[in-house]
Structure 1
Amino acid sequence: MPDGSTVTPVAPVPPELSADTLRRAPKVLLHDHLDGGLRPGTVAELAESTGYTGLPTSDVGALGRWFREAADSGSLVSYLETFAHTCGVMQTEEALVRVAAEAVEDLAADGVVYAEVRYAPELFVERGLSLDAVVEAVQAGFAEGVSRVAERGAAIRVGTLLCAMRQHARALEIAGLAVRYRDAGVVGFDIAGPEDGFPPTRNLDAFEFLRQNNAHFTIHAGEAFGLASIWEAIQHCGAERLGHGVRIVDDIKTDADGTVHLGRLAAYVRDRRIPLEICPTSNVQTGAAGSIAEHPIGLLARLRFRVTVNTDNRLMSGCSMSSEFAALHETFGFGLDDLRWFTINAMKSAFIDFDERLRLIDTVIKPGYAALA
């Protein structure tokens, strides 16, 4: 193992980070699922307008609570079952446009200045939409949302990640779709769905195609499964980022005196600055962490892994970027400097061009945090 190093605990920060300060802090979001972020009222209204009859209740307040409670299962498989309802109401072009536009508005209202929002086009073709029609409807919705935000005097940029479901056999097809629409706002590719039993190496042809076409991709790995999924995602598939990646902590050992030893894989991930798309609340819900206090993000941040903070599924987790920041501030004592670091980490790791990443860091993120300080 690499040489050990001693980790100094983070000192508590005075509680001056108000809810308003956290909301106004510029944020960058790399891991957010479109079908996991609907407003409960939108789910109810779309169910009525599209004839979807599977909802557990039509009462908006009760529906929002149901999604959060159903997701609090401690199992990724059970957590994913809640998406049957959101996907069920997103089977028309009009529904996809509405959901995408509202997602942009909600993120901007929460202080997000750049977001990569992901979804699996194959999940929205049950009523006859083609994959292309799905992508074009979502892109139209994102554009509409950006326009509405601009009318209110704010700004947000949104990139799209197209997901393939790892339990299906359409990864190469979806990878081709991502490449075909990369000049229309699609910035990358991902595989999602149940990890256990569906390793990323099942989709090697898709990742080879993406590399040959100079296309970006991230892979869900190290959430419900362990180090093997991370190793395969990086070494076999060539992932640029890790969706979640929290199980990298299984390759880190801490002695009683605080000395930390990184295993070969953990050291490689840190040395190569491979971004971790960490979603604290979601990780607790799916059992990847016992609680926010037990979440490895505190250790990973202190060890200076390329940690980013994300929402995953805002509806199921009842969360926002501001609430995730608030939980980390209250639990680990992270202050504005730490939140700025998470945000710049994320912006550096985004799948847009280098010049635009620098522009957002230098003209939006750094000035925004300076004004708060």
Structure 2
Amino acid sequence: MTLHWTHAATDGRARAGMLHTAHGEVPTPVFMPVGTAGTVKAMTADAVRSTGARMVLGNTYHLMLRPTAERVARLGGLHRFMDWHGPILTDSGGFQVMSLSGLRKMDEDGVTFQSHVDGSKHRLTPERSIEIQHLLGADVTMSFDECTPFPATHEEAAKSMRLSMRWAARGRKAFVERPGHGLFGIVQGSTFEDLRAESVAALTEIGFEGYAIGGLAVGEGQEAMFATLDFTTPMLPATHARYLMGVGKPADLLGAVRRGVDMFDCVIPTRSGRMGRAYTSRGQLNLRNAKYAEDDRPLDPDCSCPACRNHSRAYIHHLLKCEEMLGPMLLSWHNIHYYQALMARMREAILAGRFEAEAALIEHDWTKDGEA
């Protein structure tokens, strides 16, 4: 059986379910830590597993450049290569290629670009993106698309979206069906409701194992993102997983789950950890601030991660001031752990039919100790 999603409960528009893959089942809603180059930054695979994470993301663009998808395949695939035995989703490389700006040239067939690493020239087409993800061994493969920049006019967004839909059809034909693996289509159309509807119609006619919402978290702001989700998620098949790409902060996750999204990924928890920031059940903390120099409390009294069990805010502040690598490692570990705990809490609330009550408690607690 191909990869698929099954429904467990709905509370309002929030959903709980299960994603069934070749490398195990994943309860949803789910947050996938980002392992860009075959590793979640500053964390071992065992550390990632200890947070409760069940699924991670790999990056087609970065892995095709170093060490190359062909080398990963010869070494047994990405799961073996990075010691991750659970499911892996790989993005298509489209977002990274589109962000190269002056280093790329796009046409109907695909994109030619220069590597940011050594300036070497490469070509990505829908077919080649699918091939790379197949070589990596991804459980979830993503369609190659153009991530429409923001802001964009209606005409620009329409042209971009329709190109992505033609690429989606080509990628579907190139995808090799095998048990427990699947291909997700990506809905584009910027913040325009009619274009999002056209994109959903095109993708559902092609048929995919799941549907992603792309082109958000690119500068439009939370209000516009939520407004776009308000009209986009109801258009998507209720029988399939819904994945919001590249999102986000805890408040973004809560708001998107409220609007019917099942899957998320983002670099924020690890990137913030490297910058000295912690996300907690009582708000966001900047551990570089001098006020934590003698704060003997844990980062989060409700957290059981090693950073909170074994160390104080003062100790982590000290590590950051001394530029010791353990500081960012502990904060990254904590942030991923907190994100997993938040998703589990939301899932339990949906299953119990009390999502909005739990969401109100979560939002209230964020004001207790956090910083603006």
Higher strand share: 2
By relative contact order (CA 8 Å, sep 6+), the higher-ranking structure is: 1
Higher helix share: 1
Give the TM-score of the pair, scaled to structure 2: 0.42
Give the TM-score of the pair, scaled to structure 1: 0.42
